[in-house]
Amino acid sequence: MEIVKKVVIAGHFGVGKTSLVSRFVHQKFSDQYLTTIGVKIDKKVIELEGATVKMMLWDIAGESSAMKIPKKYLAGAHGLFYVFDLSREETYRNLDTDLFELNKSLNGNPAIVLGNKSDLVEETFIEKLHSSIATDFKITSAKSGENVEEAFLQLAKEML
Amino acid sequence: MNLNEIKFRPLEKKTQVIVFDQKGKVLETDNTLVEVNPEGVNIFEDTILCGMEEQFLSLKKGEQVELDCIHTDFFGKESHYDFVVMRLEEENPSYGLVIYDFGAQYNQLFDLQQERNMAQIQSHRLERENKELVDEKTTIERLYNEMKDDSSSSQYILVKADSLLYNLDFKEILYLEAYGDYIKVHTENKVYVTHNTMKRVEEILPANRFFRVHRSFIVQLSKIENIEQMSLLIRGKDKVIPIGKSYKSILLQKMDQL
């Protein structure tokens, strides 16, 4: 049985959304920053709990606020990743507001917050951030691959 | 409505039209951008419309959904496309998918956007580094002041007099007086005469405790009993010390006043 799921990846520009998708889909990483224009669509087929899940990954161009994301990109999303850069405070300063805005388009579908670029910050900083941010988030590094596969599999499970 | 009827629309040069049914089966295509073989191709399985059936099947005749600036591989050709899906017929529903290839235009936009994003990331980084530097400076200043306070409250100075080195606590020193090529160090109980200059001594003594009030006198500020017009009195002593004209205003600035 094949199940198709649309997954939206949102967040500020330069936080590593495209790199996370590239790591998950192609097992590749590049240090070069190339901005995304509009939306970049990739797909990855995974086997999960006896089902074939085709994940359509909508990697949306980074915006400084979720309010600026065109609603038509979010329409019909079965799940969402909100990505921020652990090393840039401005990318998670308005995390709650952004998530509130995005959740309006999700119709109760799951969303996972990812604190990316864990390779750039100290462990102690991450611990402090966990206690200062109310929203739960998962640590990832597209560069080292830390937690990337796990995050996508977790969202896939939550969408089933 | 068929493919030719859709084509009356003022379409761009790099445009392709695909007509498909409600199951996603390709009915017609003009293959102007990419080669699509209707046999074995399903729009809802093989394109970016995958997973969006519900959204399109709920369209009414004449309604359309526009998805612009989509970077994807479309039947083997990777580019930036705009997609428009419209419902063509109510009976035996059919749908039109118009694909516009805007690769060249979006590449120009990419250059601008890349520059803008890089500038903003750089600007935020500089802002953060600047804040960190200010915080660091504040911390260093605080530590320096704490260190200075600690050291000044317990610091000693060696004074060579009478062929001996006397270890004097700053707290003991009342004032210092120029005496030819020598300096007289006045303490509570004794005067030490040492070979030195006022300039050198002024540099050695902590500036927060000692101040040169005259070309021939340096006093410990905490030992001042009172200040008159052009002189001051040392606490517990009857010694009156002159204040040089050029030193007075700075002296008053250094001392807190009610």
* Contacting residues of B for A56, CB less than 8 Å apart: 48, 50-51
Q: Binning pLDDT at 50, 70 and 90, where does residue A115 land?
A: very high
CA of B10 to nearest chain A CA: how many angstroms apart?
24
SS3 A57: strand
Q: The tokens of B205 are what? A: 């003594």
CA of A27 to nearest chain B CA: how many angstroms apart?
18
Closest residue by Cα to residue B247 from B197, B224, B191: B224
pLDDT number for residue B162: 84
pLDDT number for residue B41: 86
Determine contact: B59 vs chain A, CB below 8 A: no
Is A89–B128 a contact, with Cβ atoms under 8 angstroms apart? yes
C-beta of residue B33 within 8 angstroms of C-beta of residue B16: yes
User: How many CB atoms are closer than 10 A to CB B11?
Assistant: 14
The position carrying tokens 């086997």 is A47
DSSP codes, A91-118: GTTTHHHHHHHHHTTTTT--EEEEEE-G
- Pick the residue of A22, A35, A43, A44 with the most B CBs within 10 A to test the interface with B by mutation: A35
pLDDT number for residue B90: 75
Rounded Cα gap, residues A130 and A137, in angstroms: 8
Q: Count of domains in chain A?
A: 1
Strands B77-89 and B64-74 come out as: antiparallel
Rounded Cα gap, residues A5 and A8, in angstroms: 10
Range of the domain at A69: 2-159
pLDDT, tens digit (0-9, with 9 covering 90-100), for A49-81: 888 999 999 999 988 888 888 888 888 899 999
pLDDT number for residue B151: 55
The amino acid sitting at B123 is S
CA of A76 to nearest chain B CA: how many angstroms apart?
7
Is A38–B80 a contact, with Cβ atoms under 8 angstroms apart? yes
Is A4–B121 a contact, with Cβ atoms under 8 angstroms apart? no
Which residues have C-beta within 8 Å of that of residue A14, sequence separation ≥ 6?
Answer: A33, A35, A62, A85, A88, A91, B117, B121
CA angle, residues A95, A97, A98, in degrees to nearest 5: 65
* Contacting residues of A for B101, CB less than 8 Å apart: none
Of B68, B120, B124, the CB nearest to A38: B68
pLDDT number for residue B30: 85
pLDDT number for residue B144: 80
pLDDT, tens digit (0-9, with 9 covering 90-100), for A9-39: 999 989 999 999 999 999 989 888 888 988 9
User: How many CB atoms are closer than 10 A to CB A126?
Assistant: 14
pLDDT, tens digit (0-9, with 9 covering 90-100), for B70-101: 998 888 888 899 899 998 877 778 888 888 88
pLDDT, tens digit (0-9, with 9 covering 90-100), for A117-160: 999 999 999 999 999 888 899 999 999 999 999 999 999 999 98
- The one-digit pLDDT tens for each residue of chain B (258 residues) are 554 555 545 555 688 889 998 888 998 888 788 888 888 888 888 888 887 888 888 888 888 888 888 998 888 888 899 899 998 877 778 888 888 888 888 888 888 888 888 898 888 888 888 988 998 888 888 888 777 665 555 578 888 888 888 989 888 999 999 999 999 999 988 999 999 999 999 988 988 889 999 999 999 999 999 999 899 999 888 889 999 998 988 888 877 766
Rounded Cα gap, residues A57 and A59, in angstroms: 6
* Contacting residues of B for A72, CB less than 8 Å apart: 65-67
pLDDT number for residue A110: 95
Q: The tokens of B221 are what? A: 């500020």
Phi, psi of B144 (to 5 degrees): -65, -45
Of B55, B71, B118, the CB nearest to A40: B71
The 8-class DSSP code of residue A36 comes to: -
* Contacting residues of B for A36, CB less than 8 Å apart: 71
Length of chain A: 160
Strand partners, B161: B164
Closest residue by Cα to residue B97 from B8, B27, B10, B37: B27
pLDDT number for residue A69: 86
Is A13–B117 a contact, with Cβ atoms under 8 angstroms apart? yes
* Contacting residues of B for A159, CB less than 8 Å apart: none
CATH of the domain at A19: 3.40.50.300
